[in-house]
């Protein structure tokens, strides 16, 4: 079974689930992704294949960086260009200083209301499904943190900006909030994710370029966790999910292998290691 991770540069107009399905057919293995991008958005998408899908929760993605284009004066129901126009007005011309100061006002921790058209779960249903069915619901504000935000270009009526935001933050909502703080309306016309945690867009391949050679082995991708080669006795324990004593391992997690084959990933619990996920069929 093919197992590992892919750093993909997503094209505009293709949904993440369709990308998963395409790769699943190509490699004949299960495929999943971390951090959904809207159809209109492009950029870095983390893909897991085979046994690596079990390790998605371990990927550190506390902060993500995006480049966005906000068009002021026009609002859509989805807060992006794929939505229906619900309001138009003559937006004022802003000075560069006004935009810079407005963007800077979003730095730090705050609350954000997710878009109604989002994949948020509401009583067991996706928010976007409820909207399409005309069902009323309330979206609770979420905690976000904006680490960096800067103006890249302003050509009326569009504002290009770059932002680094905590996991779970919505750039569509941020664009709407920026327009509101500028006393106008707006929506995003483009969005590109260029960084997730330590992973950068420069490392990515397009969907057409991805081959088996593009798949990064699990222990190479999650290089912050060491790989420990087991003895035969330890191997027999590991394949049954038994506890292990691993001397001189200081990391909270580690891969264990036998004959250079990844067997499982273990986590530290007091003075022993317990099995987090078995990866017996991985091929790396």
Domain range for 27: 4-60+199-218
For residue 172, being part of any structural domain is answered with yes
**Residues 192 and 263 grouped into a single domain:** no
Residue 128 counted as domain residue: yes
- Verify that 47 and 90 share a domain, yes or no: no
- In this structure, the answer to whether residues 186 and 71 fall within a common structural domain is yes
CATH, residue 242: 2.30.130.10
- CA–CA gap between residue 94 and residue 31 (Å, rounded): 46
The full DSSP string for 181-193 is HTTS-EEEEEEEE
Q: Residue 20, Cβ neighbours under 10 Å: how many?
A: 19
Q: What is the pTM of this model?
A: 0.89
Per-residue pLDDT of the chain (284 residues; tens, 9 = 90+): 789 999 999 999 999 999 999 999 999 999 999 999 999 999 999 999 999 999 999 988 889 999 999 999 999 999 999 999 999 999 999 999 999 999 999 999 999 988 877 777 777 777 777 778 778 777 888 999 999 999 999 999 999 999 999 998 999 999 999 999 999 999 999 999 999 999 999 999 999 999 999 999 999 999 999 999 999 999 999 999 999 999 889 999 999 999 989 999 999 998 899 999 999 654 43
Domain identity same for 158 and 143: yes
Q: Is the peptide bond before 232 cis (omega within 30 degrees of 0)?
A: no
The token pair at 279 is 């990866």
Judgement on whether residues 264 and 209 belong to the same structural domain of the protein: no
Is residue 248 in a domain?
A: yes
Active site residue 38: yes
Selecting among 20, 38, 80, 177, the annotated active-site residue is 38
């Amino acid at each position: 079974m093919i197992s590992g991770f892919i750093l993909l540069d997503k094209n505009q107009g293709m949904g993440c689930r369709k990308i998963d399905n395409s790769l699943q057919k190509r490699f004949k293995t299960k495929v999943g992704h971390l951090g959904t991008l809207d159809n209109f958005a492009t950029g870095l998408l983390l893909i897991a294949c085979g046994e690596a899908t079990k390790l998605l929760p371990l990927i550190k993605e506390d902060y993500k960086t995006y480049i966005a284009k906000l068009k002021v004066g026009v609002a859509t129901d989805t807060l992006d260009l794929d939505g229906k126009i619900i309001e138009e007005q003559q937006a004022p011309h802003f000075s560069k200083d006004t935009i810079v100061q407005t963007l800077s006002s979003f730095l730090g921790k705050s609350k954000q209301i997710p878009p109604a058209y989002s994949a948020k779960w509401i009583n067991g249903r996706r928010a976007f499904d409820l909207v399409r069915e005309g069902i009323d619901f309330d979206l609770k504000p979420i905690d976000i943190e904006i680490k960096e935000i800067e103006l890249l270009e302003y050509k009326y009526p569009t504002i290009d900006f770059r932002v680094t935001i905590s996991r779970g933050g919505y750039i569509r909502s941020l664009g709407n909030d920026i327009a509101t703080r500028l006393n106008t309306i707006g929506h995003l016309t483009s969005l590109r994710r260029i960084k997730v945690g330590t992973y950068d867009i420069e490392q990515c391949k397009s969907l057409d370029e991805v081959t088996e050679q593009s798949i990064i082995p699990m222990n190479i991708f999650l290089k912050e966790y060491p790989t420990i080669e087991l003895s035969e006795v330890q191997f027999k324990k590991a394949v049954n999910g038994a506890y292990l004593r691993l001397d001189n391992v200081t990391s909270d997690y580690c891969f264990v292998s036998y004959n250079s084959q990844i067997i499982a990933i273990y986590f530290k619990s007091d003075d022993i290691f317990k099995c987090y996920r078995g990866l017996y069929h991985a091929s790396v």
